[in-house]
Structures are given as structure tokens and as C-alpha cells.
Chains A and B, each alone.
Chain A
């Protein structure tokens, strides 16, 4: 006999987006059941670099990213833990004159979105960051960016959501989702959830759910190729990225330097991913060029996980074009971690009010279909 659960909102996927949404919706008084096939935060949300970064994002994402940044500063109050968030600042490095020009252009555009970036010339770079490699010729500093421990964030939101009364089901794989009258029916292991709203926060698996409702999207599967050194004396005062995106590094408070670059091996059907040695060695070599003082450091571990990527590298966020009350938030394309807390608020707004205060047009699922239909906007939720 299946256990039956009846809720306002069923959330598929216990990544950071799903967990943040569960917490936020509970705070709004909605009843929520979150279904996660593994443990919360096991895939992209838990294995990513941990960058809490606004700079470098597509301008369409900046309003969401700025909104999220405010929430990152309030983690202890929201979830009872800072999740090792450090507002270290983030420097994006230029390794050529063309890179310098690109940073200049980006900073001008970002200013229009209220994100102030400091451009750093070669002389100041040598003075303030003497540990950077000689081939770095310039940088852009986002003073309010930083980093956090991704392994802690989704579990912390999941725990807070559960404490707030959300029904968070781990190790519960969704087998079927159907629209049944004006309700959704979600079959997952030993339980069947009936809900008014369905939130698709299933990451790399989000495409399958969209397809089940007649709106397939061209989602690809990617996996970050991550490495970490043993603890080292404090050196990297900022989180580091580069123009081109082929290497990124940060030093955690414990001293380990976490870095990554390129993509690992992944097979979505088998749900398996593995770091690739050729990618790892390239990342080690480039990390050494960026921070020569890492020479002789020991790399103690590598890892990866599974993430969905859209062709335009923008997530799908917003109402379905085919199905009323179906809300998507997936395909974050390797940079959803920082957005997570804001996505939780946005999903809550969409469910309750049918619209968000954040601009979401760029993330509409309709961009992959030649549909003139407007997205289904639900009416305000009337409780129950």
C-alpha cells in the first residue's frame, strides 16, 4: 500500500534550488514535499567549486545573482550555519591584452546592473597580489564575492526546510509525474504525492521532466573536474577565476586549495561521473602557472558530479509552456550554486503570486521552442 501525501507543492530534486525553495515555501505557509533520489546536495550542488560569484555572469543573471548575494550574508540566520561562506572577494584574471579589454567592457556593463567592479592594472596587481604568475597582466575585483563549502549548503537548507515542516524525502526516486485533472501526481518509491504545483528542480534530470510534459529541451550533461591540495599556509587572499574559464582556485579557511577546470567524464544513464587524468594534469599545470607557489603542494583528492547544461548556458526558470502550475528551475549550466538562495525565493513567488519580482524572461523554457504562447502563469495561490 503506497503512502499518500497531499501537498500544495511537490518539488523534484534536492539540490540547492529545491532545498531553498522548500524552506522559503514553508516560511510562506505552503505545504511542501521534496523528493530526492539520493541525499540532498549530492550532485552539482554538492560537488561544485563553491564559488559565490556575481562577476562574469551573463547580465541576464545579474539581478538574480545580486539578490542571492544578500541571502548568502544571512546564512546563519536562515539555516543556522555559515556553511563556511567567506566574502573573500573574487578576482578575474586577464592573461592577454584582449582579456584586459574584455574585463573593461564587462565592468562597464556590470555597473549598469549595480555591480561595482575594480579594474586592477599590472603595477597594482604585482603590488597587491605578488603571488600571481608573471603571465597575469590584469584583473577585475568583485569585493563582495566569495566562496563557501558546497557540501554543507544544500544539506543545511534541507535540514532547515525539514525543521520548518517540509516533508523532505531523501533516497526517494521519482518514477512518474503526471497531470491529473488540476493536480499533479508524483509516484516515487513507496509514496505517491498529490500536489497543486510541481517544481522541476531536478538539475541534469530536469530535461526528462520537461519532456514528460511535452516540452523537451536540448540539455547536455556536464561534470566539473575538481581537485584539492592538502592544507597549505594562507596564501590565496581571493577566490580566483580567469578570462576563458579554464581554471579557478580558492583557498578554504582550513588551508586546502580547491581548484578545477575543464570537464570530467560523465554518463547520465549510469549516473556516473569520474575526473579525467588528462584534465586534472592540465588543471594542475595551469594552477601552477597562476600561483607558482603551489609547486610541490600535494594534491590529495579529485571529484566530480553531474550537472545539466543548456546550449546558451542560461538556466530554465519559470512556468511551463504546456502545463499549468508546473514551474521549472534546472539546467544551471555549471553556475547555479551562488543563485540557489534567490531561486528559492523566486520559486516561492511564482507559486504564490504567479510572477517574480526578478526578471526571468531570459530563462523562459519557450526560448527552445518556436512558441508564441505566453508561459502559463498561475493565479495567486489561495492556500489549502
Chain B
């Protein structure tokens, strides 16, 4: 009997460690990654021609970045590694992918979805102005291409990433004019005892803050964003703190309220989802091995629920070992137990972080654009919800085009569900989640996409004429 093929989607911390565990146990692995170079988002590597020291690029995480890149360099040559490959559909134990402008089908026996996360964005007035970036996007501009997003940069939102990105920008010589955190200082103080369970991580957070303060970067906590002001482009952030309206002039804003898991492939694979109160989103259900409700389909890393890069590496390895065990490779029990203990500790830290940096409720005004792809404003969405008695976010999508555009609701889906919940008087879980539809990211129409018969798809004999809608 030939060994099964495991396909790993994503070559970030989770994907690399999963592939490493599988390769170590002699299993056949295919690694598909959208990027040209391995590392994922957090340890994203620059284009080949760029040279910048690890310490400069990754700061305190340089050692971890180096370790993951080294692991990738060891493991990927032993796997069937396909970079620059977009996975856009899962269907009947195979993936549809686009590589070099052509569609290919990649079958799997086991599948590891290590698809990571994107920023959790909230529609606040002016968030679609030129000059507004997601926090993660701002970080990538710096990490990947040594670019800053502007000359006077404000960071707005909440979460530890806010301070990390501010630190990285300032350290790189960029002009960070303000860090505007919606989470109040009191919440962080209350979470301190639990955060102290991971002293190293906490120390880094405290250091970033102190370092920024010593460089006279304005740090405001407990802010209520009013709008991102300007014309075509951003020229200020207006917010309220302690009942007082304030304004910070800037030419760029990095915006983010924590992270959200990328789950569309698990959805297309048919996985059962459950609402996760901590992550405030629907996530694929998984067992202790990371296996979903679909046998042989696993999720790992931030794509399975937000845990951060360290947890992602552990989850990746954990899933890789579970698959190896499933296929008769013994000897990983002690390692699995050790990983589970570390994951439990990280989960406690994560819960404390959530208390420190709670996701704010920021109901958009009727004029605010919720879905930027389709230019749908909150007022139009609310009217449709009331008018048609909408209780499900997919219905709102059908009626208003919210989430129907090229990002397929990856940016606006959570905000749209919150609108349905608020307007229909239900909780956000009851509003559901936008269903994924292939392709999860756009496909380019090209004659070379796939070989086709001379006259297109054949309709059933005799049916053709009348089946034209």
C-alpha cells in the first residue's frame, strides 16, 4: 500500500511545523503556499533581492523567525513544495489551485489547513480613505519591502499588535504620531496577574510601550474613534477620550482590532463550524488532534482560532504528529503531551490578552460604508434587515451585496453579522457567517486557465436550447 499524501495549505509557522513533523515520519507531503517564500505573514521573508539583517527585520522575534526559516529550508526540499500557489476550492478530497496562470487539481488523503489570519476590521467613518491600511498590512509593507505607509502615521484599534507595529515602525525610523487604543488602561491592569503567567511576552509588551513613550509617541487608551478625516486622502484621526474630542493630524492610518481566522477552505471542505465566543467568530470544530468534522481534514494555527505564532508552531507540529500516528508512526506520545501542556499555558495567556484588549462595540453610523468592495453603507444594510425581516447574514448579502465583492466578506463579514444581530435583536452567533464560495480569492480569466473542449461545456442532449435562462 502506498503512503497517503498529506497536503498542507500555508507555509507559515503552523504549516512549516506540520510539514516538518510529517516529513520526519517519512510521510509524503505537498506544501502549497500563496507566497513566493515560506514564513507566513509574521515571519514573512523579503523578496529575494532584499537584504536586511534578521534582528532589524524581526526585532525580538529574530531568533524564532530564523528557526522557522531554517526549518523551512530543511523540510521543504523533502516535500513537494509549491510556492506562489493559490488554493481556491476544496471539492471531493482535492484542492483546486492556480499556479503559473493555470488551474490544477491537487488530491489529498489528509489535509492540513494552516491558512492563518487577517486583521479584524471595523467600519468606522472614513476607513475607506486612501492612506488607511490594516495593521497587518502596514506591518507587511515594512517587513516585506522596507516601506512605511506614510510620513506621519497613526495606529488605531486595539490588541498587542498595535504596540508591536508602532515599535517596529518607530525603530525603522518612521514617524509614528500616535497609538490610539480603544481598550482602556484599567482593563490591562486587571488582566496583569494572568498575563504575568507568560512573563517574557508580557515583558516585551511593557517594553514596547515604555520605549514608545520615551520617544514621545502619543499613546492614548480608552479612545472612542469618531472618524478618519480627510478628502480623498486621510489627514487626521478624530476620537474621543474621557468625554473630550481630540484630533491627531496624520497622512496614514493603520487600523486593526485584533485578528480573525481565515476559514473559507474549511467551509468549502464541508467542516462543521461552531461559534467561538473568545474569538467572536464561527470556527471549524476540531478535536484534540486538530481534526475537523470531516475525516482527514485538519486545521492548525491562527486559521483554526487565534493563538499567535508560538501556538501556531505547536499546533502545526501537533497536527503533523497526529497524522503520522494515524498512519502507524509510533513514538510521538511524549512530545504530544508536552505540546498539549504548552498549548494550554498559551491559551490561558491568550484569554488574559482578550480581557486586556477587548474588541470594542462600534456600531457604524448609517453613512458609514460597511462593505467596501460593493460600497454598501450601514444604513442600506439596516433598511434591508428591517424591511425583509433578515435574521441571517447570507440573506443580507443576497439583498444588499454586502460581502459579495472580491474579498467575499473577509473584511466586512463580521461587521455585517454584527449589524444583523443588532438590528434583529439576536446575538451575533445567531446571525451566522457568510458562506464561502469558490474561488475564495479571484481567478484571472485567461484562455490558458485549463484545457477545454472546442465548444465549451456540453449541455445534456437536446436540453441546450431551452436550458438557457
Contact = CB atoms under 8 A, between A and B. Distances in A.
B398 A46 contact: yes
| Interface secondary structure of A, over-half rule | mixed
A295 B408 contact: no
B445 A287 contact: yes
A335 B469 contact: yes
Interface in A272-297: 274-289, 294-297
Contacts of A242: 468
A150 B406 CA distance: 20
A296 to B, nearest CB: 6
Interface string B442-469: 1111110110110111111001111111
Interface in B373-402: 374, 387-389, 392, 395, 398-399, 401
B149 interface: no
A108 interface: no
Interface residues of A, number: 68
A275 B438 contact: yes
A245 B456 contact: no
Given A151-B399, A245-B464, A301-B408, A277 B91 contact: yes
Nearest to B452: A285
B73 to A, nearest CB: 33
Given A285-B447, A298-B442, A53 B456 contact: no
Nearest to B465: A245
A275 B457 CA distance: 13
A39 B389 CA distance: 10
Contacts of A70: none
A247 B467 CA distance: 10
Nearest to A155: B388
Contact of A300 (B105, B442, B450, B460): B442
Contact of A261 (B96, B404, B445, B457): B457
A322 interface: no
Contact of A335 (B387, B447, B466): B466
A246 B408 contact: no
A281 B449 contact: yes
Contacts of A277: 89, 91, 96, 103, 105, 438
A314 B465 CA distance: 12
Given A57-B466, A224-B469, A335-B466, A262 B459 contact: yes
A48 B399 contact: no
A283 B468 contact: no
Contact of B456 (A286, A297, A334): A286
Contacts of B459: 244-246, 261-263
| Interface secondary structure of B, over-half rule | loop
Contacts of B449: 281, 284-285
A20 to B, nearest CB: 17
Given A296-B444, A301-B437, A303-B437, A283 B457 contact: yes
Interface of B: 89, 91, 96, 103, 105, 374, 387-389, 392, 395, 398-399, 401, 404-406, 408, 437-439, 442-447, 449-450, 452-453, 455-460, 463-469
Contacts of B406: 230, 298, 300
Contacts of A337: 469
Q: Lowest 4 A-B CB distances belong to which pairs?
A: A262-B457, A286-B456, A298-B442, A245-B464
Contacts of B445: 229, 284, 287-288, 294-299
A282 B469 contact: no
Contacts, number: 159
8 contacts: A51-B468, A222-B467, A243-B465, A244-B465, A280-B438, A289-B456, A298-B406, A309-B463
A59 B308 CA distance: 64
A334 B96 contact: no
Nearest to A261: B457
A49 interface: yes
Nearest to A81: B387
Given A281-B103, A285-B456, A245 B467 contact: yes
A282 B91 contact: no
Contacts of B447: 285, 288, 295
B398 A151 contact: yes
Contacts of B450: 278, 281, 285
Nearest to B462: A313
Nearest to B453: A282
A241 interface: yes
- Among B439, B450, B460, B469: residue with most chain A CB under 10 A: B469
Contacts of A294: 445
B395 A39 contact: yes
B408 A300 contact: yes
A309 B459 CA distance: 13
Contacts of A56: 465-466, 468
Given A245-B465, A297-B444, A299-B445, 11 more contacts: A39-B395, A95-B455, A246-B456, A261-B456, A277-B96, A277-B438, A278-B450, A288-B445, A295-B445, A298-B444, A309-B467
A207 interface: no
A155 B467 CA distance: 24
Nearest to B395: A39
Contacts of B392: 39
A179 interface: no
Given A277-B91, A281-B449, A299-B442, A334 B408 contact: no
Contact of A244 (B105, B388, B442, B455): B455
- Among B96, B443, B463, B468: residue with most chain A CB under 10 A: B468
B262 to A, nearest CB: 17
Interface in A174-230: 222, 224-225, 229-230
B455 A58 contact: no
A151 to B, nearest CB: 4
Contacts of A287: 445
A333 B447 CA distance: 31
A245 to B, nearest CB: 4
A132 B442 CA distance: 24
A254 B392 CA distance: 24
